[in-house]
């Protein structure tokens, strides 16, 4: 049942910086476990030559498109990535407490770039915000809450 997520709502526990950081580390490790072998199978050890930031179209697909699609699918179907599930957290609509719309989730993902550009300040914002929202959460109208 959706509920208003006022900052003082007694039944809502917003997930803080360290749990979200741990979830990010877990998700990053899983992404590397999938993408690095794929990239090595296509490009070999030359993949690690620092000459070009993107080695080719397959690199673009494996390094950028595949992770984006995976994250958006997890968010859409589970309201969480494996890392968020491991720390018992999920993404919720900040206004209703319900499931965020696909448009909110897409905006949240694109907002990651905005959060990261100024030296990661948008991610660090979680530590100081009363609702533990990063900039991408504020832009998308989402919060990250604890699950049982």
pLDDT digits (tens, 9 = 90+) for 65-102: 999 999 999 999 999 999 999 999 999 999 999 999 99
Enclosing domain of residue 139: 17-146
pLDDT digits (tens, 9 = 90+) for 10-62: 589 999 999 999 999 999 999 999 999 999 999 998 888 888 777 889 999 99
Specify if 130 maps to a domain: yes
Specify if 38 maps to a domain: yes
Q: What is the DSSP string of 96-116?
A: TSSPPPHHHHHHHHHHHHHHH
Specify if 93 maps to a domain: yes
Q: How many domains is the chain built from?
A: 1
| Assigned token pair, 56 | 């080719």
Could you tell me which of 88, 112, 90, 92 has the C-alpha nearest to residue 101?
92
Strands 142-146 and 89-93, sheet pairing = antiparallel
SS3 at position 14: strand
Kindly tell me the burial class for residue 91, based on how many C-beta atoms sit within 10 Å of its own C-beta (0-12, 13-18, 19 or more). Answer: buried
Specify if 114 maps to a domain: yes
Could you tell me which of 23, 34, 134 has the C-alpha nearest to residue 80?
23
What is this structure's pTM? 0.87
Specify if 5 maps to a domain: no
């Amino acid at each position: 049942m959706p509920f208003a997520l006022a900052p003082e709502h007694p039944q809502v526990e917003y997930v803080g910086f360290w749990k979200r950081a741990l979830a990010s580390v877990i998700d990053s490790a899983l992404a590397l476990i999938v993408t690095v072998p794929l990239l090595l199978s296509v490009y070999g050890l030359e993949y690690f030559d620092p000459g070009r930031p993107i080695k080719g179209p397959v690199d673009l697909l494996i390094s950028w498109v595949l992770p984006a699609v995976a994250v958006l699918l997890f968010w859409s179907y589970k309201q969480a990535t494996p890392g968020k599930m491991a720390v018992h957290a999920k993404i919720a609509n900040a206004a209703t407490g319900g499931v965020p719309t696909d448009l909110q989730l897409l905006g949240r993902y694109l907002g990651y770039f905005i959060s990261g550009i100024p030296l990661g300040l948008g991610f660090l914002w979680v530590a100081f915000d009363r609702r533990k929202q990063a900039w991408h959460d504020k832009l998308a109208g989402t919060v990250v809450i604890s699950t049982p």
